């Protein structure tokens, strides 16, 4: 199963943000199992490094991202992706890019805390808690 992770899910873990840390960490831990693949957008990785380095320093931020990149692959954001995102006309351009990257990565789920900001007719958009509940029900 391929899980596309919105930046807020990863940031919840890196910054140990409550009350979301536990569910987001559980989703990231799924990626250590062979049956799950994680994907994040390239622009999420750069933003995560910027935010983490402000709070942790550059060395620790680099270490955290290297650990993250053992769990997730990076979906590219190129000119075509940006043009398509602009053409979608969503109120949140960054979310449009996340959805386009999730489509390009053939994700089974887009995992975010901000489900209301996404429009999708093909990829289910779920919170970490919702994903965990789905997986428990399937077990």
DSSP secondary structure of 12-51:
HHHTT-TTTHHHHHHHHHHTTSTT-EEEEEHHHHHHHHHH
What pLDDT score was predicted for residue 27?
Answer: 98
Domains and CATH numbers, the chain: 2-132 (3.40.50.1010)
> Positive or negative, the Cα torsion across 138, 1, 112, 117?
negative
Structure tokens at 65: 């991202």
What pLDDT score was predicted for residue 122?
Answer: 86
Each residue's pLDDT tens digit, 54-80: 988 999 999 999 999 999 999 999 999
- Give the closest residue to 27 by CA, choosing from 47, 54, 61, 3: 3
Each residue's pLDDT tens digit, 79-134: 999 999 999 999 999 999 999 999 999 999 999 999 988 877 789 999 999 999 99
Provide the whole-model pTM. 0.94
């Amino acid at each position: 199963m391929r899980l596309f992770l919105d930046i807020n899910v990863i940031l919840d873990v890196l910054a140990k943000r409550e009350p979301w840390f536990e569910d987001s960490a559980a989703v990231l831990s799924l990626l250590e199992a062979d049956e799950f693949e994680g994907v994040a957008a390239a622009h999420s990785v750069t933003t995560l490094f910027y935010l983490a380095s402000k709070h942790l320093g550059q060395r620790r931020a680099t270490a955290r991202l290297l650990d993250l990149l053992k769990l997730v692959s990076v979906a590219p954001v190129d000119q075509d992706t940006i043009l398509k995102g602009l053409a979608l006309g969503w109120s949140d351009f960054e979310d449009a890019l996340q959805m386009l990257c999730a489509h390009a990565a053939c994700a089974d789920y887009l995992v975010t805390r901000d489900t209301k900001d996404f429009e999708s007719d093909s990829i289910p958009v779920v919170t970490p808690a919702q994903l965990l509940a789905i997986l428990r029900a399937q077990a």
